[in-house]
Amino acid sequence: MQLHISPSLRHVTVLPGKGLKEFIKVKVASRRVSYRMLFYSLLLFTFLLRFVFVFTAVDTIDGHHNKCSTIGCLGKKIGPRILGRKLEPNVPEVIYRILDEPTEKDEVEGRSDIPQTLEEFMTEVKEGGYDAKTFAIRLREMVILMEQRTRTAKIQEYLYRHVASSSIPKQLHCLDLRLANEHTNNAQARLQLPSAELVPALVDNSYFHFVLASDNVLAASVVATSLVRNSRRPNKVVLHIITDRKTYYPMQAWFSLHPLSPAIIEVKALHHFDWLSKGKVPVLEAMEKDQQVRSQFRGGSSAIVANNTDKPTVVAAKLQALSPKYNSVMNHIRIHLPELFPSLNKVVFLDDDVVIQTDLSPLWDIEMNGKVNGAVETCTGEDKFVMSKRLKSYLNFSHPLIAKNFDPNECAWAYGMNIFDLEAWRKTNISLTYHYWVDQNIKSDLSLWQLGTLPPGLIAFHGHVHVIDPFWHMLGLGYQENTSFPDAESAGVIHFNGRAKPWLDIAFPQLRPLWAKYVNFSDRFIKGCHIRAS
């Protein structure tokens, strides 16, 4: 078809375009139809053609392979909307109804006729000539079976990780025994730490004071080595190591035989602190009660795993709550820092599963603005799995005592690398608040929170936290492997919080080298206990 418009716009000629001489001639009365109206009509006609084309294309993209004309497809799409009707769903209603039915506990238990793979299922569907209802029933059974198997496998994985992380590896046990024997037989392993001329530095506030509480000699050695090696002024570094009675001699032997001069290392056991060994200490009493309640309330790992109603992530959290770490005095002792170090004004507390990768002296230049605890917030950042923690992640807001006093959406913060202004702390009731809430949790059968020291810490330091840059503390290297090596390498302090500790076989292999680089695997004690890089 050909369209001819006269120069004066008074005549429009339409030719059929088939070689015929006949034509249709349209006389346009200038007094009735304006040229502008005719021009706009042609534009509208062109637009409608494009509109029809777009609808046809969308129809094809949506997956409708049935043949229909352009106008037919357009009517198919627009018609129901004009008439107020909705398009029929592609999936029959019976499939929705069957798949939406509640799952029975023993619905697929013991059955051997359910397809085990997608290939088996498709073969059965093709050969059986199923209708929609039968198809939905078989699909539902297969999905339920796969869900149950996945849940069982996940729980087994969490149980094995719990056992692996809770037990003392034989290599670490060997290291303690060899060092204890060395302490007995070698005078060099019994040297006073620090030497007498350096003792005044232990209470000198012109030094950078770090505190590490640990009963793991290998872990403590990595923290100390990485701290000193990356310090610009190691001669101003004082590291106070607090350990328990059984680990004191191995810890002293290690640091006596592996000095980190010019840094100053102090090793003390809890029984060396007079105030902690005299009378009743709230944190020790709370730990004893907590252990008693936990053993009765939880029923042990076997009872947790046997619960068929909990999701695997809930089972993992309950297993983690059984970890000895959460009832360890090494984990709770940080709440007594002002009493442990009465002469110091400021300290940086380090967990034993961290690695220092930069000079930490700038932490002393951070203005705390009267706050007690300098910490990294854990509700912001690119890693949503790690940096998405708010108070509701740790506290049980279904309990009225928690719901009444706290905001579930308030940002949480991290333990593991904290700046503590001890002068400001001594002006508060933080320690008393901590003990009060630990006692309340015990009285409520551990229903206020599940895990050990962070939840009561979040409560006790509420309103006393100064937020510091996330560069100083990267979390999560012990419970998720999505952290890339370059990102972890660029952080000031990395924290292997979680079960996959870098000294265990379950550590994530791509992240473990960041920790292992500070272990001398040729050392006679390390080599003799078969502690290897991987």
In this structure, of 58-62, 130-134, 147-151, 431-435, the range with the lowest mean pLDDT score is 58-62
| Cα–Cα distance, 214 to 354 (Å, whole number) | 12
240 phi, psi to nearest 5 deg: -95, 110
Which of 137, 165, 193 is the last residue before a domain boundary? 165
Which of 120, 146, 165 is the last residue before a domain boundary? 165
Assess contact for 202 and 264: CB atoms under 8 A. yes
> Do the domain assignments include residue 85?
no
Per-range mean pLDDT, top range of 298-312, 399-413, 436-450 = 399-413
User: In sequence order, which residues have a C-beta less than 8 Å from that of residue 53 and are 6 or more positions away?
Assistant: 70
| Cα–Cα distance, 221 to 97 (Å, whole number) | 61
Residue 28 pLDDT level (bands cut at 50, 70, 90): very low
247 and 112 in a single domain? The answer is: no
153: left (phi over 0), alpha (psi -120 to 50) or beta: alpha
159 and 173 in a single domain? The answer is: no
Assess contact for 478 and 340: CB atoms under 8 A. no
377 and 304 in a single domain? The answer is: yes
Per-range mean pLDDT, top range of 19-33, 269-283, 305-319 = 269-283
> Do the domain assignments include residue 84?
no
- Per-residue pLDDT, 425: 97
246 and 112 in a single domain? The answer is: no
In this structure, of 255-259, 410-414, 482-486, 526-530, the range with the lowest mean pLDDT score is 482-486
Does the pLDDT at position 404 exceed 80? yes
Per-range mean pLDDT, top range of 26-30, 83-87, 215-219, 377-381 = 215-219
Does the pLDDT at position 430 exceed 80? yes
> Do the domain assignments include residue 123?
yes
129 and 174 in a single domain? The answer is: no
In this structure, of 83-87, 334-338, 455-459, the range with the lowest mean pLDDT score is 83-87
- Per-residue pLDDT, 351: 95
pLDDT tens digits, one per residue of 105-160: 677 777 777 888 888 877 887 777 777 788 878 888 788 888 777 877 777 766 66
Question: In this prediction, what percent of the chain has a pLDDT beyond 90?
Answer: 45
237 and 344 in a single domain? The answer is: yes
Does the pLDDT at position 486 exceed 50? yes
173 and 135 in a single domain? The answer is: no
141 and 179 in a single domain? The answer is: no
Angle at 211 between CA 209 and CA 216, to 5 degrees: 145
- Per-residue pLDDT, 82: 47
pTM of the model: 0.71
In this structure, of 159-173, 203-217, 246-260, 287-301, the range with the lowest mean pLDDT score is 287-301
Q: Quick one: tokens of 244?
A: 């328990």
In this structure, of 281-285, 333-337, 374-378, 468-472, the range with the lowest mean pLDDT score is 281-285
Residue 285 pLDDT level (bands cut at 50, 70, 90): low
Map residue 25 onto helix, strand or coil.
Answer: strand
204 and 109 in a single domain? The answer is: no
Which of 139, 165, 191 is the last residue before a domain boundary? 165
Does the pLDDT at position 223 exceed 60? yes
Does the pLDDT at position 231 exceed 90? yes
Structural domain of residue 518, as residue ranges?
169-529
In terms of pLDDT, which residue wins out, 39 or 474? 474
| Cα–Cα distance, 176 to 173 (Å, whole number) | 5
Does the pLDDT at position 484 exceed 80? yes
Map residue 288 onto helix, strand or coil.
Answer: helix
- Per-residue pLDDT, 23: 44
Q: Is the dihedral of CA 520, 526, 527, 530 positive or negative?
A: negative
- The secondary structure element, H or E, covering residue 24 is strand 24-27
pLDDT tens digits, one per residue of 382-391: 777 788 899 9
> Do the domain assignments include residue 43?
no
210 and 288 in a single domain? The answer is: yes
Q: Quick one: tokens of 506?
A: 């379950």
136 and 195 in a single domain? The answer is: no
Give me the number of domains the chain comprises.
2
- Per-residue pLDDT, 356: 98
Length of the chain: 534
| Cα–Cα distance, 460 to 455 (Å, whole number) | 9
How high does pLDDT run on average in the chain? 80
Radius of gyration of the chain (CA): 36
Q: Is the dihedral of CA 48, 54, 58, 64 positive or negative?
A: positive
In this structure, of 86-90, 147-151, 342-346, the range with the lowest mean pLDDT score is 86-90
Residue 375's beta-bridge partner residues?
Answer: 467
> Do the domain assignments include residue 188?
yes
> Do the domain assignments include residue 81?
no
Where does 126-226 show beta strands of DSSP type E? 208-213
> Do the domain assignments include residue 53?
no
| Cα–Cα distance, 365 to 359 (Å, whole number) | 12
332 burial (CB, 10 Å; 0-12 / 13-18 / 19+) is buried
CATH number at 322 reads 3.90.550.10
443 and 318 in a single domain? The answer is: yes
Using the 8-state DSSP alphabet, how is residue 13 labeled? Answer: E
* Pure H helices in 354-453: 400-405, 422-425, 430-443
> Do the domain assignments include residue 36?
no
